[in-house]
Chains A and B, each alone.
Chain A
Amino acid sequence: MTLTVDVQVPRGAATVTARLDVPPRGITALIGRSGAGKSTVLQAACGLLRPAAGRVALDGRALFDAAAGIDLAPAARRLGVVFQDGRLFPHRSVRGNLQYGAQRAPAGKDDGPGFDEVVALLGLGTLLARRPFQLSGGERQRVALGRALLSRPRALLMDEPLASLDPPRRHELLGYLAGLPARLNLPILYVTHQMDEVMRLADRVVLMADGAVAASGGALELLSDLTLGPLVGRFEAGGVLAGVVAEQLEAWQLSVVTVAGQRITVPQIGAPVGSAVRLRIRARDVALQREVLASSASNQLAGTVLRVLEREPPYAAVEIGLTPAAAPGERLWALVTQRSVQSLAITPGHTMVASFKAVAVEGRAAAVHAETTDPA
């Protein structure tokens, strides 16, 4: 089951154009700056906005098709939506909100999660009798998510569900969201402009800018694509490494992560040994040298120069692959001067050592990410 959105939606004087696929495994993040057209695409997909042209289809079946004159009502599309502001019904209890969609879902083949299952999954057990105005922001969004899941949707669309929450609540809800793909075999489209959410949740990324799709692909590749930096905004250029927590150095408050067989030490990550993590290393934090040195930069990774990009003088960006295959998640960028490129003779194919301090990887730069792999 894949959700395909290929639409042109009028928005004021301009038009938002998007073509994207949301496959059934993992989370597809639709990212971009505010006003890029992300929410417009989501609303067109679920039927709350009517595109001027294009097609929205689920597993090949048209939900909207301008050419064929098909425009299913939102109710008939059965796409679960979680809105930024929750939109719980104030006159219903939490239980009443959760049941609203379930009561309207067509009877028959029940392949969605049941009431008790959703309540347990989202920790709603103690909230059922409460009214929405008695809930915290995080609780509200959990109920909104539960309500969408219980309507037995065929895809899940989330529109910046964490945007109105304070940091502790965001962190709490991120945990719930990260666990979703493992339990749901549904296309999940997640709209956000927060890079830490993308790091934590996304398997695939669709980047929008100025009302159009600017790039799309695997999360690790896209997040490490230096050329997209200006479109992503605020998030400084760098590379994302995919690794596994190998050891916890409790006494030092450090964690050891293995990436492509090499060990990296970082400020402690709150996840058990064996957890998959993503580490974002800013290009400006990475230095290059010919061989391993004794240094306070405790992380020294051997690799091969993949390419050298000349940037605004005096800068150059060097991409290092940590393995011969240099798969996504095994690449690193280093921002150096063009003079260094010349004096160290940095050219593609050269072996180099990339070094960075452990403290370059802290807080928002490290994210636990449960990799969802296609069983096929």
Chain B
Amino acid sequence: MTAAELQALWLSLQVASAATLATLPIALALALALARGRWPGKPLLEALVNLPLVLPPVVIGYALLLAFGRQGPLGRWLHEVFGITFVFTFRGAVLAAAVMALPLMVRALRQALEAVDRGLEDAARTLGASRLDAFFSVTLPLAAPGLLSGAVLGYAASLGEFGATITFVSNVPGQTQTLPLAIYSALQSADGEAAALRLVACSVALAFAALALAHWGSRRLARLMGTGGVSS
């Protein structure tokens, strides 16, 4: 592999990790809001969260550009107040990947939370725990295997993100050129087929590694939580 290819691989891992870590708490909060209770606005939030899943990625990328571009309202404000720029930067690539991964993660996390018996939280509350305490000491640990699966799903989705990224932050080597974008570039050049194949193999290996890790991790966590293995 060439230095440029390794750079794309390394950048992909960084973007996916950053996007997953940044999205996890937000996705958890959204999953909790959607899993619990009835409030006005809930269907609207649900639709909003799922938008990236149903819209073409290019549309999301363009929407991000309109909002966070140099001339966009959010982009200009962030640039003027904090000096933060998204366009053509690593940060922008992370934002694009995070937005695209969000619906998948919220969905997985919501399922994980809903699978935990609410009666256990009720029991915890009669034993002196506040709602927050009960959530963190009972529901969250029991949902941990599902949370890990959700995180890995988000990670895998971030690794594969293409359309929104290239539309929003373009294809800048070392800043925004992740594996899929590098493959695209290689295919555009006259003699890039070998490079493209190497990068594709790399992607496949990464995907398998992530899935294997998720499988092993979930099972281990489930055993630790007493929810997997022998049940009676």
Contacts and interface: CB of A to CB of B under 8 A. Distances in A.
Question: Are both chains from one complex?
Answer: yes
A294 B73 CA distance: 105
B138 interface: yes
Contacts of A306: none
B130 interface: yes
B224 A87 contact: no
B225 A91 contact: yes
Contacts of B126: 46-48, 74-75, 77, 79-81, 148, 151
Interface stretch (B45-53, B90-98, B117-125, B177-185): B117-125
Given A48-B122, A132-B226, A75 B128 contact: yes
Interface string B126-170: 111111010001100110000000000000000000000000000
Nearest to B126: A81
The listed residue with most B CB atoms (<10 A of its CB), out of A80, A91, A133, is: A91
Interface residues of B, number: 26
Nearest to B127: A101
B129 A133 contact: no
Nearest to A136: B232
Nearest to A78: B128
Contacts, number: 77
Contacts of B224: 91
Contact of A90 (B124, B133, B142): B142
A355 B148 CA distance: 71
Given A131-B226, A133-B226, A151-B128, A91 B123 contact: no
Interface residues of A, number: 29
A74 B226 contact: no
B188 interface: no
B230 A83 contact: no
Contacts of B129: 75, 100, 104
Interface in A121-139: 131-134
A90 B124 CA distance: 12
B2 interface: no
B232 A104 contact: no
B125 A90 contact: no
A371 interface: no
Interface string A54-86: 000000000000000000011101111101010
Nearest to A144: B123
A278 interface: no
A83 B120 CA distance: 10
B127 to A, nearest CB: 4
A48 B138 CA distance: 17
Given A83-B119, A89-B120, A74 B125 contact: yes
A147 interface: yes
A87 B128 contact: no
Contacts of B119: 83, 85, 87
A91 B141 contact: yes
A101 B120 contact: no
B225 A100 contact: no
Contacts of A75: 125-130, 133
Contacts of B226: 90-92, 131-133
A47 B120 CA distance: 15
Interface string B217-231: 000000011110111
A147 B120 CA distance: 13
A105 B128 contact: yes
Nearest to A100: B127
A75 B227 CA distance: 26
B20 to A, nearest CB: 24
A79 B224 CA distance: 30
A230 B107 CA distance: 51
B127 A148 contact: yes
Given A83-B119, A85-B119, A133-B232, A91 B227 contact: yes
A62 B138 CA distance: 29
Contacts of B232: 133-134
A199 B123 CA distance: 28
Nearest to A152: B128
Nearest to A46: B126
Interface string B169-205: 0000000000000000000000000000000000000
B125 A104 contact: no
Interface string B24-56: 000000000000000000000000000000000
Given A75-B129, A83-B119, A90-B142, A100 B124 contact: yes
21 contacts: A47-B125, A48-B125, A73-B125, A75-B128, A75-B129, A75-B130, A75-B133, A78-B128, A79-B126, A80-B126, A83-B119, A87-B120, A89-B142, A90-B142, A91-B224, A92-B226, A100-B124, A104-B129, A133-B226, A134-B232, A148-B126
Q: When A and B form their complex, which 5 residue pairs have the shortest distance between CB atoms, in order from nearest?
A: A104-B128, A101-B127, A90-B226, A87-B123, A91-B225
Given A75-B125, A75-B126, A132-B226, 17 more contacts: A73-B125, A78-B128, A80-B126, A83-B119, A85-B119, A87-B120, A90-B226, A90-B227, A91-B142, A100-B124, A100-B127, A104-B129, A133-B226, A133-B230, A147-B127, A151-B127, A151-B128
Interface of A: 46-48, 73-75, 77-81, 83, 85, 87, 89-92, 100-101, 104-105, 131-134, 147-148, 151
